[in-house]
C-alpha cells in the first residue's frame, strides 16, 4: 500500500488549484472519519479520498476524468480496490458501487465540498459553527454552489443507508478536525 506522503506528492504533481487541493483534503478527512467509524483501513480510505479528483484539473471531461487517473494509479502501483473506488465515484463510468469503500468515496465527495461552501459564506468562516439545518437550507437554494450535484448528495446518504441529517453532521465533524488546513477555523486570513 502506498503512503499518504506518496499520495500527497501525486496529488500535488497533477493539481495546482488551491480550491481543488482543499477539496481533496476535505474528502480525505471525511473518508478517514468513516473508516474509523466502520473499523476499516483509514489509510487506504483516506488515500482514495485524497486522490479521487487528482486528475480533474488536467482531465476534467467525462471521457478522461478518473479514466486517465486510473491508468496513472495502476502504473504507480496503487491497489485495485483504491482505483475502483475512485472510478466508481463518477457516475458516468457506470461502475456499481458494490462495496462500503466505494460508497463512502461517492458519499463524501459532493457533500464535503458543499459543507465547505456553506462555511465559506458565513461571516466567521468557521466550519465548526455550521449547522445541519443551514446545510439543508442551502441545498434547496439551486443558485448556491451550483456546481454541486444535489442528487449525488442525496444518493450518497441513501447508498450508505444513513439519514441525511446524520451524514451532514458526520461530515461537519470530520471537516472540523482539519479546519485550519481548509482555512475554515475562523482565523482571519491576515492572521494565518
How many angstroms separate the CA atoms of 37 and 46, rounded? Answer: 13
Q: What is the number of alpha carbons within 13 Å of residue 141 lying toward its C-beta? A: 12
Comparing 164 with 188, the larger pLDDT belongs to: 164
Express each pLDDT in 43-95 by its tens digit. 999 999 999 999 999 999 999 999 999 999 999 999 999 999 999 999 898 99
Q: Is the pLDDT of residue 191 over 90?
A: no
Which three cell numbers mark 141? 437554494
Q: Specify the CATH number of the domain 4-185.
A: 1.10.3210
Express each pLDDT in 10-31 by its tens digit. 999 999 999 999 999 999 999 9
Q: Is the pLDDT of residue 189 over 60?
A: no
Comparing 190 with 148, the larger pLDDT belongs to: 148
Mean pLDDT of 101-128: 97
Q: What percent of the chain has a predicted confidence (pLDDT) above 70?
A: 97
Mean pLDDT of 123-139: 97
Q: What is the pLDDT of residue 68?
A: 96
Start-end of H helices in the chain: 4-14, 18-38, 42-51, 67-75, 80-88, 100-120, 132-140, 150-160, 164-176, 179-182
How many angstroms separate the CA atoms of 192 and 91, rounded? Answer: 38
Q: Is the pLDDT of residue 139 over 70?
A: yes
Q: Is the pLDDT of residue 3 over 70?
A: yes
Q: What is the pLDDT of residue 190?
A: 54
Amino acid at each position: 500500500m502506498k503512503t499518504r506522503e506518496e499520495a500527497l506528492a501525486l496529488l500535488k504533481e497533477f493539481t495546482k488549484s488551491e480550491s481543488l487541493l482543499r477539496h481533496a483534503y476535505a474528502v480525505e478527512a471525511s473518508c478517514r472519519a468513516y473508516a474509523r467509524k466502520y473499523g476499516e483501513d483509514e489509510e487506504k480510505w483516506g488515500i482514495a479520498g485524497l486522490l479521487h479528483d487528482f486528475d480533474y484539473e488536467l482531465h476534467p471531461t467525462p471521457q478522461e476524468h478518473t479514466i486517465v487517473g486510473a491508468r496513472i494509479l495502476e502504473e504507480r502501483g496503487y491497489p485495485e480496490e483504491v482505483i475502483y473506488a475512485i472510478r466508481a465515484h463518477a457516475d458516468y463510468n457506470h461502475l456499481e458501487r458494490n462495496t462500503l469503500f466505494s460508497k463512502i468515496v461517492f458519499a463524501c465527495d459532493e457533500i464535503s465540498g458543499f459543507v465547505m461552501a456553506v462555511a465559506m459564506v458565513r461571516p466567521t468562516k468557521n466550519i465548526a459553527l455550521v449547522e445541519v439545518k443551514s446545510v439543508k437550507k442551502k441545498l434547496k437554494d439551486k443558485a448556491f454552489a451550483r456546481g454541486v450535484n444535489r442528487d449525488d448528495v442525496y444518493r450518497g446518504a441513501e447508498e450508505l443507508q444513513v439519514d441525511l441529517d446524520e451524514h451532514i453532521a458526520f461530515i461537519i465533524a470530520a471537516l472540523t478536525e482539519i479546519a485550519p488546513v481548509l482555512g475554515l477555523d475562523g482565523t482571519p486570513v491576515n492572521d494565518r
